[in-house]
Every structure is written in C-alpha cells, then in structure tokens.
Chains A and B, each alone.
Chain A
C-alpha cells in the first residue's frame, strides 16, 4: 500500500474530538460508579460526624430475624424492626462468634442487661457475618440472656456504618443514637452514664 494519500485533516480532527469526548464521558462514568460503590460500602461517617457535633443522628431503619427473643421482640425466626423498640433505650451490640474481643465484652453486656432490664433498657445483640449455629453456641457458652437479632447480609453493619465487630450503640427512647463505641466495651461504666442520661430524658 503506497503511502500517498493525505489524510483529511478536518475529518481527522473531528473524529479525534469525538473520541476525546467519548473517552471523557466513559472516564467520568467510571469515577461516578466508584464513588457510588464506596458510599454504599459504608465508608461514610455521618453517624460519628453527627455525634461529634453533639447531635443525635436517627437510627437507620433495620428489620432483621430474631435469633434469641426478648422483651418487645417477636418470637425466634420472625422479623423484628428497630422502630418497634421506640420508647425503650436500646444498647445495640454488633457481634460475631468468631470475634475474640466479643468474648471478653459479652459478660460486660450481660451485666449491663441484668442491671438495667427493669428500667426500660434492652441490650440487643446483632450477630453479623456469622453462622447461626455458631452464634447460638456462643450465646450458650457465655450464658447470655439478652436478645439477639441475626444479620446474614451485612445490612446492619452498613446501615450503622460499622467497620467491624464489636461495635456498640446506645439508642435513646426516640430512636436516636446517643453513643457509638467502635471496638469492645471495656466496662459497664463506659455505657452506664449515657444510659442514665437518656433514661432521664436528657
């Protein structure tokens, strides 16, 4: 093929421009997808941001099957909604049977539950990323009497913007988060102050 013909300069420029626009749109789409993906992976920190400014963010709507029932909750296997517990102070604890800090933390939560259950407080475990048989064995082994829900699909973890287990939230009677503890609760005193405050309607 002899290299004789001159390329059509104007046509070439137009084609290059179209190529550039198509490329830019494709790149922008990929960036938008990445951002949306990251936001849906619970990378946002709106709960902690709100708590830091002194406000109480609303608890996200969550409906999960009951693993171990308790006051205000439907029987085992049925779905419970967090909104059903409005009017009660909820100490919500994300946990898993394979999580070592959860093993040290669970007696603390059990003590809190026994000390506060007659005061309109419920300690509510939410078992995540776990096999239900393992979860039930854990509850038996550590003699836990507070109720637990089961979340097999990470709904609670992403809605509550948790990064792992354990994480604990104190939710006031109106369904707003008053305290978030990322990592294990070391002592009952760490939560009791907040529980007393929200019980007093403060």
Chain B
C-alpha cells in the first residue's frame, strides 16, 4: 500500500473497531472476515478517506456494535461514567475505611491504667503543684 510517510495506517483504524467473527479488536484479528475488513480500510485510505469516515462506513455496514470502544454519547456514556464513578468513590472511601479499621484495632483510644496507678499519679501531681 503506497502513500505518504505520515498517512493513516490500516492498524490505526483497525484498532478502533472489532472483528465481527472473533470479537477481538480488528488490528489483532486474523480471521477471513477480519482480513476482508482490513482490505476495505486499506481501499478507503487509498481513496483519501479520513479515519472517522472509514469508521462511519464500517458502522453503516455492521452497526455500532463494530466499535471497539462505546461512543461517548447517549446511553453508551454509562460505559465511561460508571468506571470513573467507581474509582473516585473508592478513593473517597479510603479515609473512612482506614478510620474505621483504626478504631476497630483500638488505635484511637488511650491505654487504660489501673485505678491504683491513677490514684498514685493524682497524688504525685497534687504534691508537685503544692
């Protein structure tokens, strides 16, 4: 496939879509159907189409399920938002969780002293202040 050095490569487009028979990204797929799709992409590149135009053409052929990553709009946004919410929520929960664990291990409360030691301490402090 001839073309200028900085032109779009087949793999740059292929990694954005899915092979319909193998359910893996097209750039790492080698099924007969995947080979045909790569040829289709190569033809389109030779034709001067840009990446989005080629992806759009593949969506027309195979539906939005052909996209390797869900589109960032409409209901498909859920696939992007849910992981972010889970990670941020998890990070936010760390201070609460560590505090709860520390409390369970008794780290926060002062060590107790025996009544006779407490009495002796009070007595000595009184004597010192006098």
- Chief secondary structure at chain A's binding surface: loop
Q: Is A152 an interface residue (CB 8 A)?
A: yes
Also in contact, A2 and B111, with CB within 8 A (given A96-B33, A129-B21, A131-B36)? yes
CA–CA, A5 and B109, complex, Å: 8
Interface membership of chain A positions 76-108, coded 1 if the CB is closer than 8 angstroms to chain B and 0 otherwise? 000000000000000000001111100000000
**B31 nearest CB across to chain A (Å):** 8
User: Which residues of the other chain, B, contact A100 by a CB distance below 8 angstroms?
Assistant: 32
> How far is the CB of B50 from the nearest CB of chain A, in Å?
19
**C-alpha spacing A96/B107, complex, angstroms:** 68
- Does B128 make an interface contact (CB < 8 A)? no
Looking at B58-66, B69-77, B78-86, the stretch in contact with chain A turns out to be B58-66
State A134–B20 Cα separation when bound (angstroms). Answer: 15
Say whether A7 contacts B61, CB under 8 Å: no
Our count of residue pairs bridging A and B at CB distance below 8 angstroms stands at 48
> Is A6 touching B36 in the complex (CB atoms < 8 A)?
no
The total of chain B residues at the interface (CB under 8 A) is: 19
Contact present for B107 and A152 (CB under 8 Å): no
Shortest Cβ distance from residue B114 to the other chain A in the assembled complex, whole angstroms: 13
Residue of B nearest to A134 (CB): B36
> With A and B bound together, what is the CA distance between A5 and B33 in angstroms?
66
A26 CB to nearest chain B CB (Å): 13
Q: How distant is A96 from chain B, measured CB to nearest CB, in Å? A: 7
B61 in contact with A129 (CB, 8 Å):
no
* CB-defined contacts of A11 to chain B, threshold 8 Å: 104
Interface residues of A, count at CB 8 A: 24
CB distance from A21 to the nearest CB of B (A): 18
Residue A10 is within 8 A (CB to CB) of chain B in the complex: no
User: A36 on the interface (CB 8 Å rule)?
Assistant: no
Q: Which A residues are in CB contact (< 8 Å) with B40? A: 131, 133-134
A5 and B106 in contact, given A131-B61, A152-B62, A153-B62 (Cβ under 8 angstroms) = yes
Q: A99-B32, A131-B61 are in contact. Are A154 and B104 (CB under 8 A)?
A: no
Q: Is the CB of A12 within 8 A of B104?
A: yes
* Alpha-carbon gap, A142 to B13, bound state (A): 31
Cα-based distance from A60 to B78 in the complex (angstroms): 30
Asked, given contacts A1-B107, A7-B106, A8-B104, whether A98 binds B32 with beta carbons under 8 Å apart, the answer is yes
Query: Which residue of chain A has the shortest Cβ distance to B20 in the bound complex?
Result: A129
**Complex Cα distance A134/B40, Å?**
9
Specify the chain B residue showing the minimal Cβ separation from A8: B104
Q: Are the C-beta atoms of A152 and B61 separated by less than 8 Å?
A: yes
Say yes or no for A110: interface residue by CB 8 A criterion: no
Contact (A7, B33) CB under 8 Å given A132-B61, A153-B65: no
Which residues of A (158-186) have their CB < 8 Å from a CB of B?
A: none
Q: Can you pick out 11 interface pairs between chain A and chain B where the beta carbons lie within 8 Å of each other? A: A3-B105, A4-B112, A5-B106, A12-B104, A99-B32, A129-B20, A130-B33, A131-B40, A131-B61, A133-B40, A154-B65
Binding site for B on A (CB under 8 A): 1-8, 11-12, 96-100, 129-134, 152-154
